[in-house]
Amino acid sequence: MSSTSARRRLAGSVAALLVGAAAGIGLLAPAPAQAAACSGSSGVTVVVDFAELGGGVTAGCATEGGRARGVFSAAGYTLSTATKSPGFVCRVNGLPADDPCVDAAPSDRYWSLWWADGQGGSWVYSSAGVDALKVPDGAYLAFAWHQGSGKSQPPSTVPVTRTAPTKKPAPEKSPAPKPGPGKKGGGSNPAPAPTSAPSAAPGTAGDNASGAPTPAASGSASPTDSASPDADEPTPGETFSVDPELPAADQITAGPEDTVTFSAEEVDGLPAWVPAVVVLVLVGAVVAVVLVRRRQV
């Protein structure tokens, strides 16, 4: 075989190797990011803003409303509670890692709980804990890390409209009672004795006909179920409008599993597939050099 033919074959082999490497880039490159929040008007979009803890703002989707603790869990978030303050959430997905989770957190370092009704624009501060707060389907639920003095702030994202406001039906007018036999107008028959309306079983949607989040039927949350009272704390139920320029909650692409401060998918700012392709090309170059030398012997 002539040296020219050998070189042509070698060139063809190297070209095929490079084409394979290019194809590998296409296969290993990540797919376009998808929103982590719920789509449409059903389910509860759960948001966690890690703020100073690192990890950014992440989101998840729970398929239905309910108690806040269960909704966080269904969306993929793990909540840790303080051993001496049952119900007090001290960590979300393991953060802050330096909290021993024994006592309730101090008033300048804690997770603040928020919700939004899915009708746009504002977050509502909740003083009830995750075991007491209930959120309806179509709403938002969030934890935002608070660190430092001043009032805690809602998550850095806009709870955009998910459900159209529903019109409450106007109450039907009851006909005026007719005077009883032998009575003239102006009086009325005695009203029937009131009877107690049937109540919904605990934990069902009937606990809250309006659809707004409510505390548990047993009453308000215990002091250990929410952050310690503080003069700088928002008033329970206080509404906070956020900057409309902030990202919309339904556009968050980072999910609960992306809350680590360092991502194994990045090496010095590069996606993990880049080093793999570089290694592949280098191996191809070494093979090409070896083949050339053998042909020349």
pLDDT of the residue at 234:
59
Question: Both tokens of residue 87?
Answer: 């119900």
Phi, psi of 295 (to 5 degrees): -70, -30
Strand order, beta sheet including 44-49: 57-62, 44-49, 140-147, 109-116, 122-126, 239-241
Q: Report pLDDT for 196.
A: 41
Distance (Å, whole) CA 173 – CA 224: 46
Read off the tokens for 2.
Answer: 């002539």
Whole-Å CA distances, 129 to 74, 81, 117, 204, 221: 17, 11, 17, 18, 6
Q: What pLDDT was estimated at residue 121?
A: 81
> Alpha-carbon distance 288 to 297, whole Å?
15
pLDDT along the chain (297 residues), means of 10: 57 54 46 73 96 95 97 97 95 96 94 94 92 96 96 94 58 53 43 40 38 43 39 65 88 81 37 51 62 61
Nearest to 60 by CA among 78, 80, 49, 76: 76
Residue 293 has a pLDDT of: 64
Residue 247 gets which letter from DSSP?
P
- What does the pLDDT read at residue 208? 42
Q: Which of 188, 185, 136 is nearest to 163 (CA)?
A: 136
Residue 81: its pLDDT value, please? 96
pLDDT number for residue 292: 57
| Fold classified for 33-164+207-261 | Ferric Hydroxamate Uptake Protein; Chain A, domain 1 (2.170.130)
Nearest Cα residue to 106 out of 257, 271, 220, 230: 230
Would you list the domain boundaries of the chain? 3-30+265-296, 33-164+207-261
pLDDT value of residue 243: 86
